[in-house]
Amino acid sequence: MNVLIIGSGAREHALAWKLKQSARVEKLCVAPGNAGTARIATNIESPISSLQSLISSLQINFVVIGPEAPLADGLADALRAQNIRVFGPNQNAAEIESSKAFAKAFMRRHNIPTARYETFSNFDDAVRHVESVQYPIVIKASGLAAGKGVILPETLDDARDALRQIMLEHEFGAAGDAVVIEERLQGEEVSLLAFSDGFTVKAMPPAQDHKRLLENDLGPNTGGMGAYAPVNLPENFLDEITRDILQPTIDGLRAEGRMFVGVLYAGLMLTQDGARVLEFNCRFGDPEAEVILPLLESDLLEVMEACVDGKLAQCDVKWARGAAACVVLASGGYPGKYATGIPIHGLDAMPNRNAMIFHAGTKLQDAQVMTNGGRVLCVTGVGKNLGDALDTAYAAIRPLGFEGMQYRKDIGQKAMIPQVSSL
Ligand code: AMP
Ligand code: GLY
C-alpha cells in the first residue's frame, strides 16, 4: 500500500512514524512534510491543487489528511470522487470543527451536553447580549482561526473590544462573520479523541493539552506546549462520555447526511455537573497525537482502513498500558513574532528508545536542520507511568537546542498531584 499524509507538523511526523511501522505500507509520502518526515518518508512539495495528478503518478492508494484546513476545504470529497481511499471526513462532516455556530446548533438538536450559548452575526446584537447576560462568558469566532479565535473576557469592556476586533475589524477574516457567545465553564479540560467509521466510535486514551505558553498555565494561548496521556478519569467515565457524547455525535451527523470517517476530537470540560463539550475537531489533535500514537499497539494502517471500509466494529484497537508525555520546544517570541532559519543542534544524539523527537516547524537546508515555525520540535517520552514518561521526555530534550528556544518545565505536573488526577 502506498500512503500519502497531508500536513507538515509534529502530528504528521507522528502519523508517519506510526504508519512506517505497518508491514503493509510500501511507499510513504508526506506533503509537504518537514525535516523530520524527510528522514522516514518522501516529502512532496506540491500545491494542494496539483495533488490529484501527483497521487496518480505516485500510485498512492491511501491518503491521510492531518490538518483541519484541507478537510474544511473539501479535499477528502475531491479525492473520494477520484476513488481514492481517504482517512478524514468530507467537508460537510468537517463542519463540526469549521463552524462553531453549526457545531453548537447541532449539539442543541441532538442533546449533546455543552455550555449554553447564542450565535450572532450583527455586532450591536452581540454587544447587547454581553451587556445583559448574568454569567461569565467566552466569545468565539465561528470559523477556523488557527486556534486563536477564542477569547475569555474578564470585563465588559474586554468583551466589547473582542467583539469589535472580531466582527468589525475582521481580525480573523470571514471566520468572525458569526460569533458564538457561550457560558464560561469551570473544571479540568480533557481531549477525548475517537476513531470513527461513521457508525462505530472507538475512543483513544484521554489526553490533556497544555495550551498556555508559560508554566502554571500563565501567559497567552498557543497551539499547545505539551501533552500527556492517559488522563486518569473516574471509572466508567469513558464509557459514559462515549455513550452520551461521541456516539450521539457520530449518529447525529450520519442522520443529517454527514458521515464522519476519521478522528473525532471532543474537547471536554469536566464540570461539577458532568462532561461538557467545549469544541469538536475533525482530526487528530496536535500535540495530542504525539502522545496518543506512541501508545497505540495496533497497526495504525489497519485501524484507518477499518474506518474507511466501515468495519471499525470488527477491529480490535489495542493500547499500551503505560503513559506518554510530550514537551514542545518553541521559537523565542512564539506565539507572537519569531525568527526562522535558526540551526538546531543535538538532533543526532542517540535518544533513549522510549523517546521520540517529532519535528513540527523544521526544514532542511544543506543537510542542516533549521527552525521553520513557532512550534519547532515535540519531544515525547513513553514509560510505565506518567512520571517515567516525563523523565524520559525531559532527558531527551537536554542535548537539543537552538537560539531562543523556550519550553515549559511543568508538563503533566498537575496530574502528579493525586487529588487532581482522581478528579
Ligand atoms: P476551543 O477552541 O473552543 O476549544 O477553545 C479554546 C480554549 O478556550 C479551550 O481549550 C478552553 O481552555 C477555553 N474555552 C473554550 N470554551 C470555554 C468555555 N465555555 N468555558 C471555559 N473555557 C472555555
Ligand atoms: N491541541 C489542540 C488542537 O489540536 O486543536
Cα–Cα distance, 213 to 225 (Å, whole number) = 6
Is 350 a residue whose pLDDT tops 90? no
What is the CATH topology of the domain spanning 188-314? D-amino Acid Aminotransferase; Chain A, domain 1 (3.30.470)
Is 267 touching ligand 1 by the criterion CB < 6 Å?
Answer: yes
Residue 62's H or E segment, with its range, is strand 62-65
**Triad 196, 201, 202: Cα angle to 5°:** 105
pLDDT of res. 130: 87
Shortest-distance ligand to the CA of residue 284: 2
Identify which ligand lies nearest to the alpha carbon of 268.
1
Specify the fold of 2-90: Rossmann fold (3.40.50)
User: What is the tens place of the pLDDT at every residue in 319-328?
Assistant: 999 999 999 9
Mean residue pLDDT of the chain comes to 93
Residues with CB under 6 A from ligand 2: 147, 209, 224, 281, 285-286, 288
The stretch 161-170 carries a mean pLDDT of 88
| Proportion of the chain above pLDDT 90, given as a percent | 76
Spell out the domain ranges in the chain.
2-90, 116-183, 188-314, 323-422
Q: How far is the CA of 281 from the centre of ligand 2 (A)?
A: 8
Given pLDDT bands bounded at 50, 70 and 90, which one contains residue 169? Answer: confident
* Ligand 1 neighbour 68 (Cβ under 6 A): no
> Shortest CA distance to 285 belongs to which of 66, 98, 73?
66
Kindly tell me if the per-residue pLDDT of 419 is higher than 60. Answer: no
Q: Average pLDDT for residues 229-246, to the nearest whole number?
A: 92
Kindly give the distance from the C-alpha atom of residue 224 to the centroid of ligand 2, in angstroms, as a whole number. 7
Least confident of 41-50, 82-91, 381-390: 41-50
Among 125-134, 196-205, 265-274, whose mean pLDDT is lowest? 125-134
The dihedrals phi and psi of 354, each to the nearest 5 degrees, come to: -95, 10
Contacts of 253 (CB under 8 A, 6+ apart): 93, 96, 106, 198, 259, 260
Higher pLDDT, 57 or 269: 269
Atom of ligand 2 nearest to the CA of 281: 5
| 150 Cα: distance to centroid of ligand 1 (angstroms) | 7
Split at pLDDT 50, 70, 90, the class of 420 is very low
> From the CB of 288, is ligand 1 less than 6 Å away?
no
pLDDT number for residue 225: 97
The CATH class of the 116-183 domain is: alpha beta
191: left (phi over 0), alpha (psi -120 to 50) or beta: beta
Confidence band for 418, pLDDT divided at 50, 70 and 90: low
| Region 341-348 average pLDDT | 95
CATH topology of domain 323-422: Glycinamide Ribonucleotide Synthetase; Chain A, domain 4 (3.90.600)
pLDDT band of residue 236 (cuts 50, 70, 90) is confident
pLDDT digits over 59-79, tens only? 999 999 999 999 999 999 999
Q: Which amino acid is at 143?
A: G
pLDDT beyond 90 at 348: no
pLDDT of residue 392: 97
Q: pTM to 2 decimals?
A: 0.94
